[in-house]
Structure 1
Amino acid sequence: MSTHQETGTFGVWDYLVFAGMLFISAAIGVYYAFSRGGQQTPKDFMMGGRKMTAMPVALSLTASFISAITVLGSPSEVYRFGSILSLWAISYVLVVLITAEVFLPVFYRLEITSTYEYLELRFNKHIRLCGTILFIFQTILYTGIVIYAPALALNQVTGFNLWGAIIVTGVVCTFYCTMGGFKAVIWTDVFQVGIMVAGLLSVIIQAAEIQGGINKILNDSYHGGRLNFWDFNPNPLQRYSFWTIIIGGTFASTSIYGINQSQVQRYIACKSRFQAKMSLYINLIGQWLILACTVFCGLAIYSRYHDCDPWTSKKISAPDQLMPYLVLDIMRDYPGLPGLFVACVYGGTLSTVSSSINALALVTIEDLIKPHFRSLSEKTLSWLLKGTSVLFGVLCIGMAALASLIGFLLQAAISIFGIIGGPLLGLFALGILAPFVNSVGAFIGLTAGFVISLWIGIGAQLYPPLPERTLPLSLTTDGCNMTDFHHQGNWTTTTETTFSTSTLQVNSTERTPLMDNWYSLSYMHFSTIGTLVTVFVGIIISLLTGGRKQSLDDRFLLTKEDFLSNFDFFKREKLILNPQSYTKEDGGIDNPTFSYTEMYSTAESRKISGP
């Protein structure tokens, strides 16, 4: 590959394609702000009136799960660690099954609006508050990095204006979330997932043409050791293996799909439980398609640069810049196509950020404002929802600025869901699956899980695992034109390199057993540890504090009827609580179960406050 030309630059047509994507996204928000009278009630704004069908929700689930970190980060991970990441396909099946058959039946039956309402129903309002605060902190932090990371990668490779991209992304997301509410978020996601697929397919098609066909790409990858689909090493310290992806990946993704407000809000907005389950299963196909595209893009990058690694040769400064570097290399003769790829990346960013802003506004109103101000009118609630959407949009842009100062890794962004989402997953699992767990056990379990996972996460960032733990594959520069280098020298195989300004460099001879074992745990397992510690501690404490003496309504638990209902095709099952059974307060919580929630929570908190 010594004859590579310099990569292209971002041209007028590319900016027009990117601007077109932003304009259409904003236009969808304007449309839903005014169509059919606009978002007339808070429920319309937050949940689309609970009238959504499976297909748009499925595409929205796919789009909001796939951020720019997926589009840029997954191909670079395949380039460095191989096709073993394709095992996520199995993990996705487990995640969808668990979500559809364990969490969805309970959430849908209770007709909750905020996921964290369940925690008050099942435990008490203090645990609900803990769940809400952890979610808000996690989402703002993650969303800021989702905005900043792709902007930085594209800026360093294409010259795309860094802060212009960050501010435009935040403003457009905030605009259509505030104007069009939940329906605007759903339908912009549908549009953006189409852009993402188109962008990835354009890279695959052009790479296959330039490299001499798909067989040539696969052949190069095979000889470079990139077709390493199976590695059954049970060592949890290894970055990627069958077990770390299947077990760790399932826990991490379930903490997003199963209990994260951004995702749960979508499937419980469907008009029936059947539509809700179908949205999850259809979404599985979308996940597989995106995964296949990103894995193949990683193989295409390797085929193109297998003897002249751009990272080692200092043509790029971080692995997450590989995709934009490839795009400008192979698409420089096709005006508009680099713009389509940037639109693809920012489609991932917009969908994730808009989902986050919408979910943050909802939980703030439902969990932090409504319980204390029950007499708010629908008009006041609607204005509060719009105001909090703007507020969180500004906060996410501010967090992107903070991320630029801290220098987070993309891996750190993914780890956030493990550190915070894992303990939350354990908390919900305790509530739904363990009837003897009480509020004392739940709180102490959540605290223990969060402290342990945070300890590992911070330690892993300060003392990153050595290459013998992460096992990166070889990268060479034997075929590079040496005169193109900024620094002359004999470039050879690179090893794992850290590129976070916040990381402490520790010589391998100075590393302690704690660093080499506990902190070297695969980041895929952060969620696993957090969930298991929460569950284990929660069960032990509950048994010691009289949890078996409490009596619970079956509505708050997973029952065998929830599973058997999948086979009932001949009669419509009653899917929600009968709202006539309870009194609904005027101007209070929209959920017909909430008056029952308070009554139940008060009674239960008295029951289980002592052993």
Structure 2
Amino acid sequence: MRTPWLFLTLLFLTSMSLAQPNSFNWSQLPALPDPVGFAGSYAGVSNGALLVAGGANFPDNVGPWGTTKKTWYDAIYALDKPDGQWKKVGKLPRPMGYGVSLTTPEGILFIGGADGDRHYDDVFLLNYANGTVTKKLFPSLPTPLANASGAVLNGSVYIAGGIETPTDTTAEKLFFRLDFSKPNAQWQRLESWPGPGRMLAVAGAQDGKFFLFSGTEVAQDSKTGGIRRTYLADAYAYNPMKNTWSKLADLPHPAVAAPSPAFAAGQSHLLVMGGDDGSKAAENLILKENHPGFRNEILAYHTLTNTWAEVGQVSVDKKPDAVANPSASTWAPVTTPLVVWHGQVVLPGGEVRPGVRTNRILTAEPTQRSGTFGGFDWGVVGLYFLLVVGISTYVASKMKASTDDFFLGGRNIPWWAAGLSIFGSKLSALTFIAIPAKSYATDWTYILANVCIVLVAPVVVYFFLPYYRKIRITSVYEFLERRFDIRVKLLGSLTFVLFQIGRLGIVIYLPALVLSTVTGINLLLCIGLISLITTAYTISGGIEAVVWTEVMQVVVLMGGAFFSLYFMASSVGGFGPMIEEASQAGKFNLINSGFAMTEPVLWVVLVGNFLSQLTTYSSDQVVVQRYLTTATEAEARQSIWTNALLAIPATLMFFMAGTALWVFFSHNPGQLNVNGRTDDIFPFYISTQLPAGLRGLVIAGLFAATMSTISSSMNSIATVLTTDFYQFARPKATDGQRFRFARFSTLGLGLAGVGIAVWLVYLQNNSIWDQYLKLTGMFGGCLAGMFIAGIFFRQITSGGLLTGFLLSAVLLYFVQTNSWVHFFLYPGIGIVGCVVFGLLFSPVFPEKQPQRKPVSAIE
């Protein structure tokens, strides 16, 4: 019985790609206009131009054992565009270098530094515009510092370590913060990291934290009386929210004086490029010009798994005459800032071997690691599409040309199919991607959100369902007209339609973006393929085709997720070791205690998601329409419970998949896409680690989840448009005319979804749509509040409810804008606001005629 599983495990292990290609494409910008170049320069970006200033060198470029003394510089050079020419645009207050320089939205912040005689506490901002440099003073450091490190995090500057004077025999253990967004802010001394003091460390900012890597400890040698350097490989993270430090995994080797701040790659990596490991430090005076240079490995620290991996190399090209003519070769530099310009890493000059500088400007473009998708995979995906076409063709052949069949499947859908369809309609490709990504990045706190489906099911079954079945509605918003008036119905219907159309474009675009990356299909072709097939079977077979394809799609989706989970567990020794390792790391944490309204603590998760699920299952046409397709109320109840109970094992599987991803990449950090997004971790794993065939099955599952969401939305929107708007505009239209309108509107919705998705492709900016979804999402709770007001509060009038809806939407807008509560509570605010404002304003807007008898499921 174990043979198939052993075979699958062997297939997985032999299919793994263990080689990580270089994560950058390297090139060079025009060299600095100095024949030698500088170390310890300041650099940054101001108004789109790259600036390099100050620094020091030995003019003969031999080093301290040459014939020239170390010389300091004050020139400021600017490069307006990558293919332009450097020009001198100003001077620093004095010749200086070896300070911290950081790019901010206002300009380049210069912090501390040194010259041949002293160290400085100066802090000033340089802004470059129209060929002119302007200077703005900031509060001085509490103490002079050189060779410190720093980074910008959430509007504040953090400075760590350094050395106070040229004659000091110890490196400092100082940690300062300046909130430079506040006009009168002063430097604040914070608690230092738990390790030794250091200079020439690498700082970084990622995932809301400040990081400190490597550096060298300086102390006086008690035997020789000289200065002894200890090269460090330790690492630390500072959490500003908690004001605490944590010890991290050590670097594979010291990386002293590596370009700083570290490059924040993707959403969860910090890259340390090169550095001095100290292995040749004792031999510098012997090696002199024969020194081989510094390390060029790029080390990636992954903030989620606390692991290090080598992910490439800094470009090095040593010519045969590198010893005598170092300037002709390309080396990995140290003691130089790292700057991000036009999305690329820039290393401007630096020291390439002890005492030797370079004027070369290295630049690196981040690359995305791609997976493989072969013929066998395409065969599996092709089989999936054939099943979709076959199901829709069969259903279309027996469907009658009536709106009852098109919208409700003749009310003859089996309860189990309706339940699977409800489940499939809510399990979108975004969910398939987002839930594993969430548990991979954090823990299981959010799993309680899906458990609330089970808590909501009895409320829907006993209070909402009987009423909806009793009045035999097609659109759930017909309830609002019967209870209140046509204005309330049209407002509810319009809210649903606008939200779903906007969502339609999103659920086409984002999964298509992932699928395009994984499969290699052109993005526009991917959008068109998904939309064309989905629109075709939705038009031809109506809700019945949607339901039966969703049944098949759920099987494909869950099967792909299960096999992915199995292979991930197999790669780390099985489920037992995987669970034990994740448990020790706290990845199964379920409860955040506390009473804060802005954090996902237990009560916020439960209350917020109970009301969120109540919103979905009581007022969302996509869901309500499914449990109206069954023959009886008893079967409708069974369909609701089927969905609720199925959600538990499915949620466990997807959360466990995320945990398995964390364990897998903890063991294989070099397999991560350092420049990728955390949200893409599951598709990335699928495309790079799963064997052929199974890869195709899981990608078919992603197609299934996407198409299920699209078809559900299109059919439900068409239902509302036909029932609530077309029938209102043309009350005498025949059923045949309504049927044709429903089909044409479905076609129009498919085209609209494609149009929005294509627009997003060319826009290349999702932030507008993120804001759009936030604004439209405000009305979900308000919409549910309308239904709750109608069923449970007989004294609320139409005018009062309309006023309550609008005021609660305004209230929710301010709540969102000011982040007063966690977003889980938004639906609750919408519901409570709509009901409370409705009760308050109903006496102001009494019914002009005797109100219809309010029908209620609890009468």
Structure 2 length-normalised TM: 0.55
Could you tell me how far apart the structure 2 residues matched to 1:3 and 1:44 are? 50
Aligned to 1:442: 801
Aligned to 1:387: 744
Q: Secondary structure at the match of 2:586?
A: coil
Answer whether contact 1:157 1:321 (CA < 8 A) is retained: no
Opposite residue 323 of structure 1, the aligned amino acid is: F
Aligned to 1:236: 597
Aligned length: 493
Opposite residue 497 of structure 2, the aligned amino acid is: I
Q: Secondary structure at the match of 1:229?
A: coil
Answer whether contact 1:17 1:343 (CA < 8 A) is retained: yes
Q: CA deviation at 1:413?
A: 8.9
Relative to structure 1, the CA distance from residue 44 to residue 416 in structure 2 (aligned partners, 3 Å threshold; closer, same or farther) is farther
Aligned to 1:472: none
Q: Secondary structure at the match of 2:625?
A: helix
Relative to its length, the structure with more strand (as a share) is 2
Aligned to 2:766: 407
Relative to structure 1, the CA distance from residue 206 to residue 425 in structure 2 (aligned partners, 3 Å threshold; closer, same or farther) is same
Could you tell me how far apart the structure 1 residues matched to 2:371 and 2:498 are? 40
Aligned to 1:557: 856
| 1:376-430 deviations in Å (ceiling 9; x for gaps) | 2232222111101100111112222344424159987985774221110011110
Kindly report structure 1 stretches of 4+ aligned residues shifted beyond 6 Å.
409-414
Could you tell me how far apart the structure 1 residues matched to 2:815 and 2:710 are? 27
Q: CA deviation at 1:363?
A: 0.7
Q: Secondary structure at the match of 1:338?
A: helix
Could you tell me how far apart the structure 2 residues matched to 1:65 and 1:95 are? 15
User: Is residue 357 from structure 1 mapped to residue 720 from structure 2 by the alignment?
Assistant: no
**Aligned runs of 1:462-541 on 2, under 5 Å?**
514=818, 517-518=819-820, 521-541=821-841
Aligned to 1:253: 613
Q: CA deviation at 1:347?
A: 0.9
Opposite residue 277 of structure 1, the aligned amino acid is: R
Aligned to 2:396: 33
Relative to structure 1, the CA distance from residue 454 to residue 18 in structure 2 (aligned partners, 3 Å threshold; closer, same or farther) is farther
Q: CA deviation at 1:88?
A: 2.7
User: Is residue 96 from structure 1 mapped to residue 457 from structure 2 by the alignment?
Assistant: yes
**Aligned runs of 1:543-554 on 2, under 5 Å?**
543-546=843-846, 551-554=851-854
Could you tell me how far apart the structure 2 residues matched to 1:393 and 1:250 are? 32
Aligned to 1:367: 724
User: Is residue 279 from structure 1 mapped to residue 639 from structure 2 by the alignment?
Assistant: yes
How many percent of aligned residue pairs carry the same amino acid? 26
Q: Which runs of 5+ in 2 are unaligned?
A: 1-15, 21-369
**Aligned runs of 1:29-68 on 2, under 5 Å?**
29-35=392-398, 38-68=399-429
Aligned to 2:233: none
Aligned to 1:376: 733
Q: CA deviation at 1:295?
A: 0.4
Q: Secondary structure at the match of 1:234?
A: coil
Which residue, out of 466, 484, 488, partners 1:127?
488
Answer whether contact 2:454 2:645 (CA < 8 A) is retained: no
Q: CA deviation at 1:443?
A: 0.1
Relative to its length, the structure with more helix (as a share) is 1
**Aligned runs of 1:591-606 on 2, under 5 Å?**
none
Could you tell me how far apart the structure 1 residues matched to 2:528 and 2:686 are? 24
Answer whether contact 2:775 2:813 (CA < 8 A) is retained: no
Q: CA deviation at 1:314?
A: 5.2
Answer whether contact 1:197 1:290 (CA < 8 A) is retained: yes
Aligned to 1:586: none
Answer whether contact 1:195 1:344 (CA < 8 A) is retained: yes
Give the CA RMSD over aligned residues: 2.4
Could you tell me how far apart the structure 2 residues matched to 1:9 and 1:346 are? 17
Could you tell me how far apart the structure 1 residues matched to 2:448 and 2:773 are? 17
Aligned to 1:427: 786
Q: CA deviation at 1:452?
A: 2.8
Relative to structure 1, the CA distance from residue 231 to residue 194 in structure 2 (aligned partners, 3 Å threshold; closer, same or farther) is same
Aligned to 1:143: 504
Answer whether contact 2:17 2:688 (CA < 8 A) is retained: no
Q: CA deviation at 1:8?
A: 4.2
Opposite residue 194 of structure 1, the aligned amino acid is: V
Tell me whether 172-181 or 243-252 shows the greater mean CA deviation.
243-252
Answer whether contact 2:569 2:575 (CA < 8 A) is retained: yes
Aligned to 2:528: 167
Aligned to 1:221: 582
Relative to structure 1, the CA distance from residue 307 to residue 13 in structure 2 (aligned partners, 3 Å threshold; closer, same or farther) is closer
Aligned to 1:80: 441
Relative to structure 1, the CA distance from residue 548 to residue 125 in structure 2 (aligned partners, 3 Å threshold; closer, same or farther) is closer
Answer whether contact 1:154 1:321 (CA < 8 A) is retained: no
Could you tell me how far apart the structure 2 residues matched to 1:246 and 1:413 are? 26
Which residue, out of 185, 188, 203, partners 2:564?
203
Opposite residue 758 of structure 2, the aligned amino acid is: A
Aligned to 2:683: 324
Relative to structure 1, the CA distance from residue 417 to residue 553 in structure 2 (aligned partners, 3 Å threshold; closer, same or farther) is same
Which residue, out of 286, 289, 297, partners 2:649?
289
Could you tell me how far apart the structure 2 residues matched to 1:157 and 1:416 are? 31
Answer whether contact 1:210 1:330 (CA < 8 A) is retained: no
Q: CA deviation at 1:308?
A: 6.3
Relative to structure 1, the CA distance from residue 363 to residue 541 in structure 2 (aligned partners, 3 Å threshold; closer, same or farther) is same
Could you tell me how far apart the structure 1 residues matched to 2:17 and 2:548 are? 45
Could you tell me how far apart the structure 2 residues matched to 1:3 and 1:34 are? 47
Q: Secondary structure at the match of 1:370?
A: helix
Relative to structure 1, the CA distance from residue 19 to residue 3 in structure 2 (aligned partners, 3 Å threshold; closer, same or farther) is closer
Could you tell me how far apart the structure 1 residues matched to 2:450 and 2:725 are? 37
| 1:329-365 deviations in Å (ceiling 9; x for gaps) | 331xx21111111111121111111011001111111
Could you tell me how far apart the structure 1 residues matched to 2:657 and 2:500 are? 28
Structure 1 length-normalised TM: 0.76
Could you tell me how far apart the structure 1 residues matched to 2:769 and 2:701 are? 18
Opposite residue 258 of structure 1, the aligned amino acid is: S
Aligned to 2:467: 106
Tell me whether 240-249 or 210-219 shows the greater mean CA deviation.
240-249
Aligned to 1:302: 662
Could you tell me how far apart the structure 2 residues matched to 1:409 and 1:272 are? 44
Could you tell me how far apart the structure 1 residues matched to 2:714 and 2:651 are? 25
- The answer to which structure, 1 or 2, has the higher relative contact order (CA under 8 A, 6+ apart) is 1
Could you tell me how far apart the structure 1 residues matched to 2:532 and 2:735 are? 26
Could you tell me how far apart the structure 1 residues matched to 2:604 and 2:771 are? 17
User: Is residue 9 from structure 1 mapped to residue 377 from structure 2 by the alignment?
Assistant: no
Answer whether contact 1:73 1:410 (CA < 8 A) is retained: no
Relative to structure 1, the CA distance from residue 187 to residue 417 in structure 2 (aligned partners, 3 Å threshold; closer, same or farther) is farther
Which residue, out of 594, 616, 628, partners 1:268?
628
Could you tell me how far apart the structure 1 residues matched to 2:533 and 2:596 are? 44
Q: Which runs of 5+ in 1 are unaligned?
A: 460-513, 561-611
Q: Secondary structure at the match of 1:198?
A: helix
Q: Secondary structure at the match of 2:567?
A: helix
| 1:514-549 deviations in Å (ceiling 9; x for gaps) | 4xx42xx32222222222211111111114444799
Q: Secondary structure at the match of 1:317?
A: coil
Answer whether contact 1:252 1:417 (CA < 8 A) is retained: no
Q: CA deviation at 1:20?
A: 2.1
Opposite residue 538 of structure 2, the aligned amino acid is: C
Q: Secondary structure at the match of 2:640?
A: helix
Could you tell me how far apart the structure 1 residues matched to 2:626 and 2:609 are? 22
